[in-house]
Amino acid sequence: MRRNEKILKIKEIFDVVYADAKCSLDYTTEHELLVAVVLSAQCTDNRVNIVTKDLFKKYKSVKDFAKSDIDELEEIVRPCGFYKTKAKNIRALSNIILEKYNGNLPDTMEELIALPGVGRKTANLILGDVFKKPALVIDTHAIRLTGRIGLTKETDPVKIEFDLKKFVPDDYSINFCHQLVYHGRAICNARSPKCEICPITHLCKYYDDRRKNKNGKSK
C-alpha cells in the first residue's frame, strides 16, 4: 500500500477514535503556549501544567515575562528541570517578541527558530496550533509511531518531518501529530504496545512483521 493511501486510511480511523485530540498543554494566549512548550522540553506535560498554573497567574503578559526577575522566574519553573536555561530563554524570547514583534508571535519557521530555546518541534507546534499552517511536530511519539507503522524509514526528526510532508495532507498535519501523541500514550507505547486493542493493526508494519515472525517460529 502506498503511503499516501495508508495515511488516508489512518486518518479515517483516528478522526473517530481521537476526534478530540489536541495539545495537552494548558494555555489561554499564544505567548503562554510558547512558554509552556519551552518548559516541556525533557519534562512531562502534566508537570508543566502544574507549574504554569501559578506561572501564568504571576506573569499575565509578554511584558511581564520580559521584565521578570530572573531569580523569581527560575524558582517557579524549577520543577520543570533545566530551570536556569529555560527561565533565561523565556525572558529573552519575551523581550524579542515585545521589542521586535510588538508583543505578537512571529508566524514563520525562520523567525520562530531564531528565538532562544525554540527549535523546529516547538516552532511547528506554534505554526500549526496558533496560525493553522501546515506543520508536523516530530516528537518522541511521532518518531516511534511513524517508524512502527511503516510511514518512514528515517530516524532523524528533521528528515522524518520532510519525508512525511511528501504525503501527509497539509490540512491534516497538525491533527495527525496530536493523534499520534494520544495513540502513543494510550496504545502504542515504547516498551509494550497494546497491539491486541489497536485499531490500525491492519495498516501497521510493526504488527505485520511481528505476526509473520510468530507464525514462522510456530512452523
CA angle 62, 157, 198 (to 5 degrees): 100
Whether 190 and 142 have beta carbons less than 8 Å apart is answered as no
Whether 14 and 198 have beta carbons less than 8 Å apart is answered as no
Instruction: State how far the Cα of 79 lies from the Cα of 49, in Å rounded to an integer.
Output: 11
Angle between helices 140-149 and 157-164 (to 10 degrees): 60
Task: Determine the pLDDT at residue 216.
Answer: 67
Task: Determine the pLDDT at residue 218.
Answer: 52
Alpha carbon distance, N-terminus to C-terminus of the chain:
27
Task: Determine the pLDDT at residue 213.
Answer: 86
Task: Determine the pLDDT at residue 214.
Answer: 79
H helix and E strand count, the chain: 12, 0
What letter represents residue 135's amino acid? A
Share of the chain above pLDDT 90, in %: 95
- Measured CA distances, 26 to 77, 84, 195 (Å): 15, 22, 30
The CATH number corresponding to 3-21+137-218 among 3.40.190.10, 1.10.3720.10, 3.40.50.620, 1.10.1670.10 equals 1.10.1670.10
CATH of domain 30-129: 1.10.340.30
Task: Catalogue the active-site residues.
Answer: 121, 139
Residue 14 contacts by C-beta under 8 Å, 6 or more apart in sequence? 21, 176, 179, 183, 200
Find, among 179, 203, 178, the residue nearest to 3 by Cα: 203
Task: Determine the pLDDT at residue 212.
Answer: 87
10-residue averages of pLDDT along the chain (219 residues): 97 98 98 98 97 98 98 98 99 99 98 98 98 98 98 98 98 98 97 97 96 72
Strands (E), 98-160: none
Q: Map out the domains of the chain as residue ranges.
A: 3-21+137-218, 30-129
Task: Determine the pLDDT at residue 73.
Answer: 99
